[in-house]
Structures are given as structure tokens and as C-alpha cells.
Amino acid sequence: MKRFALFVALLILMTSCGGKKSVVATSAETQKVPVKVVKAESRMYMPCLDVPGTAFADREANLGAALPGRVEKIYFPAGSRVKKGDLLVSLSGEMYTQALVEYDAIEKDYERVSRLHEKGSVADLDYDHIKAKYDASKAKVEMMKKNAEIVAPFSGTIVEYLVQEGENYFFNLNLDPGYSNTSGILRLMKLDPIQVEAEINEKDLNSVKVGQKATVSFDAIQGAVINGKISEIKPVLSTLTHTATVKVEVSNGNGEIKPGMFAHVKVELTPYESVAVPMNAIYRQPGTPDDYIYVVENSKVRRVKIEKQYTDGDYVGVTGINAGDVVVTSGKDKVMDGSLVEVK
């Protein structure tokens, strides 16, 4: 009987020890956190500056006269395309006519004195005196002619007239912001090509060069993306915005682009290779600006601090990890540095 009781007690003890081992094993298994992972990729990234811009004429001028006068004749209506040298406007020519009469009289005296001077009948001093008067009168005629006729200094489009036929021209200033504010009778613009001006932040200036390719699109011209190139980078920055004005030249042969239009300017920069991970692989420490990624190594996670470089769709370029590293995308909020994980 004693032997039977001892056997039963031994059996109970063995059963109890086996149960404890099972509980310990089960506890160890439940410590592994299930996570989903991906491999960090090496990607070629094409950085691009995307900034707003405004269209301006390639060249513009408010054309007027050196002296006030009455507008006698306008030869082209507003909106006309004219060539360099075309006569655009005639002003009252009373002073020009007077200068011509004086010039004709002085020219006859000069020719007569010149013939006498060649024969030795007129002293050099008298000849020099009449020649000076002749040269001055000729210059005056040329000046008055320019004052009486407005000629196109370059080929372009007459945008508007500031003074109409029959009105007196004075030195009136144009008050349209963003355009030439000099006095004039009419405004002439060269509209092909068009210059699109955009403001580039100082930290991006080293990435843009004159001659670099760019694309331009306009809200007013749906679906059109126009290729252009950087034609000018102003050498000074705004003291208020710390930006530099960059001009992008685009073709405008059909005249569809109008000065003042709002534009979107994109400048492609030098591509470079970078490590990229899905956006959901990044974990931000609550209450801080620090970003981390959990890297899986031998069924354990290692928390790595990273820096974001760019966002491209659902991927983010980062520094701090290597291409091929296995990173956690799901389950980040359930692990900490050194946690055991089970990849699902």
C-alpha cells in the first residue's frame, strides 16, 4: 500500500514538472511580435523644382517723343504686328518744318562759302563759323524729325496706345504694375519668344544654370506643356524673400501665351541614386521631429534614426540605412529596439 502511494505521488510530481515546461515554452513564443516587412530599395531619383511664374514680353518699350506735341496720324491699329523701322505715329511738325526752312537757308550759305573758301576768297575763320552753323542746323533737323515721327525700334506687337489721334502728348507715366513705367504714346512688345519669370529660393540657386532645360504650363492653356530653357538668372536676391528671379524662355509663335499669364515652371535637376522605403515604414517619435525605421536582423528589430530626402509617390528617399535592409512596415507601434519579431 505504501509502495502504491509513493508511486502515485511520483507520477503527480512528474506531470506537474512537464506542465511548467509547456507554459514556459508557450510564454517564449508569445513574446515574438508579428510584423510585415519589405526590403529597402536603391532608386534613381530625378529631383525637380516646381515653382509658380508669370509670363512677360521678351522685350517691351513705351515709345514717345523728346518734346510734347499733338498726335497727327496713327498708322497701325492696336494689336498689329510691325517690323523694325516701320513708321508708327506722326506728331505735329511745326517745329520740324521751321527747322527745315532754317536748314535750307544755312545750307545754301554753306555751299556758297565753301566754293569761295576753295578759291581762297574766304578766310578760314569765316568758313569754320558757317560750317559750325550748318552742322548744328543739320543736327537740329534730325532731332526734330525724330520728335515728329515714332518709328519701331524692334519688331513686335502694338499692345495699346496711351495717346489717341488729335490728342496732345505730354510726359504721361504708365501706371500698370509689372510693366514699363516710362512715358510714351504707345506700348510695343516683342511676344515671341516669351519670358516666364519665377522666383528661386537661395538654397536651390546652385542647382540651376543658364541654358538649363525647363518646362512651363499655364492654367489658361489646358493640357499644354511647353519646353523652354533658362535664359537669365538675376545676380542679386530680394532682401525680403531671399529669392532670385529666373527667366525661362519659351516659344510663342502662335501668340497663345499672353503677358501676365500665371505659369507653373519645372526645372529638372541632376539625378542621383538614393535608398528609398515605403512611406509606412517610417515611424515618428511622438512629441519630437525625429523619424526612425525598424530594421529586422536575426528576428530582432533595431531602431535606426533616418533623415528624409524627398517624397516620390508612396516612397520616401532616406539616409541612415542601406539598400537591401529589411524594414518593418506593419507592427511598428508594437515593437521597440531589440524586440523579437516574427515576419508574416
Tell me the residue range of the domain where 203 lies: 50-56+191-268
pLDDT in tens, the chain (344 residues): 445 455 445 555 455 555 444 444 444 445 889 999 999 999 988 888 899 999 999 999 989 877 777 888 999 999 999 999 999 998 876 667 777 788 888 888 888 888 888 888 888 888 888 889 888 888 877 777 777 788 999 999 999 998 898 888 776 665 566 666 667 889 999 999 999 999 999 988 888 999 999 999 999 998 889 999 999 999 999 999 999 999 999 999 888 999 999 999 999 888 889 999 999 999 888 888 899 999 999 999 999 999 998 888 899 999 999 999 999 999 888 888 889 998 88
276 in the same domain as 230: no
311 in the same domain as 247: no
Rounded distance between C-alpha atoms, residue 73 and residue 61, angstroms: 20
**CA atoms within a 13 Å half-sphere pointing along the CA-CB vector of 66:** 11
Residue at which a domain ends, from 224, 246, 268: 268
User: Can you give the pLDDT at residue 1?
Assistant: 47
Instruction: Give the 3-state secondary structure of the chain.
Output: CHHHHHHHHHHHHHHHHHHHHHHHHHHHHHCCEEEEEEECEEEEECCEEEEEEEEEEEEEEEECCCCCEEEEEECCCCCCEECCCCEEEEECCHHHHHHHHHHHHHHHHHHHHHHHHHCCCCCHHHHHHHHHHHHHHHHHHHHHHHHHEEECCCCEEEEEECCCCCCEECCCCCCCCCCCCCCCCEEEEEEEEEEEEEEEEHHHHHHCCCCCEEEEEECCEEEEEEEEEEEEECCCCCCCCCEEEEEEEECCCCCCCCCCCEEEEEEECCCEEEEEEEHHHCEECCCCCCEEEEEEECCEEEEEEEEEEEEECCEEEEECCCCCCEEEEECHHHCCCCCEEEEC
- Tell whether 321 is covered by a domain: yes
pTM: 0.64
Residue at which a domain ends, from 221, 250, 268: 268
Domain count of the fold of the chain? 3
Amino acid at site 254: N
Whichever domain contains 112, its CATH number is 1.10.287
- What is the side-by-side order of every strand in the sheet holding 69-74? 149-151, 87-91, 69-74, 168-169
Q: DSSP secondary structure string, 137-161?
A: HHHHHHHHHHHHEEE-SSSEEEEEE
- Tell whether 87 is covered by a domain: no
User: Can you give the pLDDT at residue 138?
Assistant: 86
- Tell whether 307 is covered by a domain: yes
User: Can you give the pLDDT at residue 117?
Assistant: 84
300 in the same domain as 327: yes
291 in the same domain as 222: no
Query: What does the buried/exposed string (b/e) look like for 102-123 if buried means 16 or more CB atoms within 10 Å of the residue's CB?
Result: ebeebeeebeebeeebeeeebe
Whichever domain contains 228, its CATH number is 2.40.30.170
282 in the same domain as 256: no
What φ, ψ does residue 117 adopt, rounded to 5°? Answer: -70, -35
297 in the same domain as 285: yes
Whichever domain contains 320, its CATH number is 2.40.420.20
C-alpha cell at 218: 499655364
- Tell whether 296 is covered by a domain: yes
- Tell whether 64 is covered by a domain: no
Per DSSP, helices labelled H in the chain are: 2-30, 94-118, 124-148
256 in the same domain as 200: yes
Residue at which a domain ends, from 268, 298, 327: 268
- Tell whether 224 is covered by a domain: yes
Rounded distance between C-alpha atoms, residue 212 and residue 252, angstroms: 19
Place of cell 515721327: 149
